[in-house]
């Protein structure tokens, strides 16, 4: 039958999209989630197991019950600001979660892991674009916990038959082009969702965090990648591991930069509504520019984003925030 993959955090934003991509590629995704931030109704492409990744026995049991051959590990806390206020929570859930996951894998004899890592592991590099050889020097506890997870996989892999792919996402954006899945974070902190909520009149003005950066229009530049492209990259990473190829870390981005003001303009174009904005001071810890060098993922996985133009990402995200847009072009 189909090969089964345990997807921790499978009820979350990126994990649910990965479950859809796995199903489409002929795998059975088992979503393993404690629903602390996820949504039960986002689990639509395979079985659901309610559990906590810090509980190694629960992970082991789920892997055994479902005969999983690999894990995709999305379950984590992911708010940079919160991680500065409550670092212990982040070490507990993200590092504790990785420990529990690896204990469960060892117990069940599963030795292939795809990890959600982040460009936050790089901190504020001096040189753009960021390659996988750029030094990893996180500037917040969130990024630090993701780097520790990478190091755990590396060190345990060196002493066992564990292999992994660490995927360092840049800015995930958009939602399922078919409209089966949405973007839902509570609280919402991401730029595109907040701009859409402002356009929908469901919030006040969108705050623009810093207008005096050394960038073309003075606002921060980021590398946005469509969540469905991220999901597809996970399937390619899984195939890489199933083919017995070795452990590797890969950036997932496009290499294209988009400023905050360019996002606002795209939201206005796609929705036909004004986005009220308010210029605010810089948000502490925001690097002016983050751009991926996407070359290694292209070379190793033959991965190239194909939905990650800003118009498509905004168009696909809009329904998640109560805005319907014409679906005739740019999809
Ligand atoms: P999300 O909060 O929507 O999904 C995370 C899921 O994990 C949630 O469903 C939550 O309930 C679950 N979870 C958390 N702790 C758990 C635990 N201890 N046991 C079981 N389930 C648990 O977040 P997301 O945006 O989909 O992010 C998914 C992953 O991608 C995270 O690891 C995050 O660090 C990483 N990431 C996200 C971005 C981004 O732009 N959204 C960028 C880089 C990396
Ligand atoms: N921004 C605003 N106003 C807002 C929200 C965001 O101006 O209301 C700006 C931010 O300052 C930043 C850009 O929009 O310049 C994007 O901000 P997001 O919060 O959407 O995303 P980040 O780039 O801060 O965070 C992303 C991921 C994190 C990851 C981080 C690494 O969401 O998981 O990149 O720096 F850790």
Ligand 1 center to 202 CA (angstroms): 25
Distance between CA atoms of residues 231 and 314, nearest Å: 17
Across the range 72-95, mean pLDDT stands at 97
Of all residues in the chain, the percent with pLDDT exceeding 70 is 98
Q: Return the CATH class of domain 4-173+224-252.
A: alpha beta
Comparing 121-130, 132-141, 216-225, 317-326, the range with the smallest average pLDDT is 317-326
Domain ranges of the chain: 4-173+224-252, 191-222+255-321
Q: Which atom of ligand 1 is nearest to the CA of 172?
A: 40
Task: Please list the alpha-helical segments (H only) found in the chain.
Answer: 13-24, 56-66, 80-85, 87-90, 96-108, 141-158, 191-199, 227-242, 260-271, 295-301, 310-317
Nearest CA to ligand 2 atom 4: 191
Q: Is 13 a catalytic residue?
A: no
Judge if the beta carbon of residue 223 lies within 6 A of ligand 1. Answer: no
Judge if the beta carbon of residue 305 lies within 6 A of ligand 1. Answer: no
Of all residues in the chain, the percent with pLDDT exceeding 90 is 94
Q: Give, for ligand 2, the residue of 191, 267, 281 to mutate: max count of ligand atoms closer than 8 Å to Cβ.
A: 191
From residue 109, how far is each of 28, 59, 152, 245, 262 by CA, in Å?
18, 12, 17, 18, 48
Whether pTM exceeds 0.90 = yes
How do residues 158-187 score in pLDDT, each as one tens digit? Answer: 999 999 999 999 999 999 999 999 998 889
Among 13, 90, 122, 142, the one annotated catalytic: 142
Judge if the beta carbon of residue 36 lies within 6 A of ligand 1. Answer: yes
What pLDDT is attached to residue 329?
A: 53
Instruction: Kindly tell me if the per-residue pLDDT of 328 is higher than 60.
Output: no
The tokens describing 196, both together, are: 């859409």
User: Is the ipTM value over 0.95, yes or no?
Assistant: yes
Distance between CA atoms of residues 1 and 206, nearest Å: 49
From residue 240, how far is each of 23, 142, 245, 277, 322 by CA, in Å?
17, 27, 6, 44, 38
Residue 134 in contact with residue 128, Cβ under 8 Å? no
Residue 54 in contact with residue 100, Cβ under 8 Å? yes
Pairing of strands 258-259, 221-222: antiparallel
Nearest CA to ligand 2 atom 36: 120
Instruction: Kindly tell me if the per-residue pLDDT of 256 is higher than 70.
Output: yes
Determine the length of the chain: 331
Instruction: Kindly tell me if the per-residue pLDDT of 331 is higher than 70.
Output: no
Instruction: Kindly tell me if the per-residue pLDDT of 327 is higher than 70.
Output: no
Ligand 2 center to 114 CA (angstroms): 24
What pLDDT is attached to residue 330?
A: 47
Residue 202 in contact with residue 321, Cβ under 8 Å? yes
Residue 206 in contact with residue 278, Cβ under 8 Å? yes
Instruction: Kindly tell me if the per-residue pLDDT of 213 is higher than 50.
Output: yes
Fold agreement between 4-173+224-252 and 191-222+255-321 = no
Partner residues linked to 8 by β-bridges: 32, 73
How do residues 5-63 score in pLDDT, each as one tens digit? Answer: 999 999 999 999 999 999 999 999 999 999 999 999 999 999 999 999 999 999 999 99
Number of the ligand closest to the Cα of 169? 1
**What is the three-state SS of 79-114?**
CHHHHHHCHHHHHHHHHHHHHHHHHHHHHHCCCEEE
Closest CA to 250 of 291, 287, 295: 295
Nearest CA to ligand 2 atom 15: 220
Distance between CA atoms of residues 263 and 302, nearest Å: 28
Judge if the beta carbon of residue 48 lies within 6 A of ligand 1. Answer: no
What pLDDT is attached to residue 1?
A: 66
Map tokens 């810090």 to a residue: 54
The rounded Cα 281 to chain-centroid distance in angstroms is 27
Residue 252 in contact with residue 183, Cβ under 8 Å? no
| Mean pLDDT, rounded, of the chain | 96
SS3 of 174, please? coil
Across the range 224-235, mean pLDDT stands at 98
* Superfamily of segment(s) 191-222+255-321: UDP-galactose 4-epimerase, domain 1 (3.90.25.10)
Judge if the beta carbon of residue 90 lies within 6 A of ligand 1. Answer: no
Judge if the beta carbon of residue 114 lies within 6 A of ligand 1. Answer: no
How do residues 277-319 score in pLDDT, each as one tens digit? Answer: 999 999 988 999 999 999 999 999 999 999 999 999 999 999 9
Across the range 264-274, mean pLDDT stands at 97
Across the range 76-99, mean pLDDT stands at 97
């Amino acid at each position: 039958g189909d090969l089964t993959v345990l997807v921790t955090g499978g009820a979350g934003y990126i994990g649910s999209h990965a479950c859809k991509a796995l199903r489409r590629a002929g795998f059975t995704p088992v979503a393993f989630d404690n629903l602390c931030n996820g949504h039960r109704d986002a689990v639509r492409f395979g079985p659901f197991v309610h559990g906590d990744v810090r509980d190694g026995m629960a992970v082991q049991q789920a892997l055994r019950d479902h005969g999983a051959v690999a894990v995709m590990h999305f379950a984590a806390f992911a708010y940079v600001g919160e991680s500065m206020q409550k670092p212990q929570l982040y070490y507990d859930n993200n590092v504790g979660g990785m420990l529990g996951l690896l204990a469960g894998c060892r117990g069940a004899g599963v030795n292939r892991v795809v990890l959600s890592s982040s460009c936050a592991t790089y901190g504020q590099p001096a040189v753009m674009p960021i390659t996988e050889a750029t030094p990893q020097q996180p500037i917040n506890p969130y990024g630090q916990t993701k780097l520790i997870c990478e190091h755990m996989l590396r060190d345990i892999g060196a002493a066992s038959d564990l292999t992994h792919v660490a995927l360092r996402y840049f800015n995930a954006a958009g939602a399922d082009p078919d409209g089966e899945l949405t973007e839902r974070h509570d609280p919402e902190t991401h730029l595109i969702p907040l701009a859409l909520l402002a356009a929908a009149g469901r919030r006040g003005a969108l705050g623009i965090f810093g207008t005096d950066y050394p960038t073309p229009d003075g606002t921060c530049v980021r590398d946005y990648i469509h969540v469905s492209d991220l999901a597809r990259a996970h399937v390619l990473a899984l195939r890489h591991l199933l083919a017995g190829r070795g452990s590797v870390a890969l950036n997932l981005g496009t290499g294209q930069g988009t400023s905050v003001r360019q996002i606002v303009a795209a939201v206005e174009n796609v929705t036909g509504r004004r986005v009220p904005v308010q210029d605010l001071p810089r948000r502490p810890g925001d690097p002016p520019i983050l751009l991926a060098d996407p070359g290694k993922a292209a070379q190793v996985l033959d991965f190239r984003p194909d939905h990650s133009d800003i118009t498509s990402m905004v168009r696909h995200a809009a329904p998640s925030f109560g805005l319907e847009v014409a679906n005739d072009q740019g999809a």
